[in-house]
Each structure stands twice: as C-alpha cells, then as structure tokens.
C-alpha cells in the first residue's frame, strides 16, 4: 500500500501523467505474450525496496509511451518460484524479453536513460510505432 502511494506521489511530482499499474506476473499470460512475439518486461519489486520505488516512475512512463510493451511485476517476497524460474536473486531486477528470447537484464538500475535503453533491446526500434500513425 505504501509503495503504491510512493509511486503515485512520484508520478505526480515528476509529471509522468496517468499512472499505469503493471500486471502481477501470471505464467500463462507471460507465455502467451512470448508466443505472440511481444516485448515483455519483468520487474522484480519489493514494497520495502527504495531502488524499486525509484524505478517505478520510469517503468510507468515507458509503459504509457509503449502500450505494446507488456509489463509484469513479480513480488520479491512472495514469488520465490518465479524468482527461481528467471534466475533472479535480488529485488529491483528488470528483465526484458523479445518474444521468447531474453534481450537483457539489469539489477539496481535507476537511471531512466539506461532503463529505456534496456527496454528498447526488447521492443526494438522496428517494433515501435511511428509518430503520427
């Protein structure tokens, strides 16, 4: 609850407009997105994690800009089976997929430019919609 408040406050303070809530991780939906060749971001978070709180406004802004990007949030404290599946050992981990292929990952990154660059590896410049279309 507190993490959602912080995220909402950060979005208002930093002018990111409407907040987009990442979807809680669902294995079937994730696999369906992979089968469809979609770009997917897995964001491993914890409500007590200050780094995760810093990442969320950037992830939310990117999610708003790229509606074709699927964002799934994995709770670090309660989803140990999912952490094992993805080989994650720390909260604040971002993993981007292009279809079934992992395109990149980072842990602890809060620089918006670096997060955008990571996500662009999965989205790909060709998959991005052109302005005005």
Q: Quick check: 129 pLDDT over 70?
A: no
2-12: average pLDDT: 43
Q: Quick check: 3 pLDDT over 90?
A: no
Picking from 131, 54, 44, the residue whose alpha carbon sits closest to that of residue 84 is 44
What is the rounded distance in angstroms from the CA atom of residue 38 to the CA atom of residue 47?
27
34-60: average pLDDT: 95
* pTM across the whole model: 0.78
Helices (H) and strands (E) in the chain, counts: 5, 5
Q: Quick check: 72 pLDDT over 90?
A: yes
Residue ranges and CATH numbers for the domains of the chain are 2-124 (3.40.30.10)
What is the rounded distance in angstroms from the CA atom of residue 44 to the CA atom of residue 94?
6
């Amino acid at each position: 609850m507190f993490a959602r408040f912080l995220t909402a406050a950060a979005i208002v303070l930093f002018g990111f407009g409407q907040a987009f809530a990442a979807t809680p991780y669902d294995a079937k939906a994730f696999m369906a997105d992979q089968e469809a060749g979609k770009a997917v971001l897995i964001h491993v978070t914890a409500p007590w994690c200050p780094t995760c709180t810093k990442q969320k406004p950037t992830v939310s802004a990117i999610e708003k800009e790229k509606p074709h990007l699927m964002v799934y949030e994995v709770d670090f404290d309660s989803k140990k089976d999912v952490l094992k599946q993805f080989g994650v050992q720390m909260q604040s981990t971002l993993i981007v997929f292009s279809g079934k292929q992992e395109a990149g990952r980072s842990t602890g990154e809060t620089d918006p430019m670096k997060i955008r660059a990571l996500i662009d590896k999965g989205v790909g410049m060709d998959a991005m919609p052109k302005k005005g279309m």
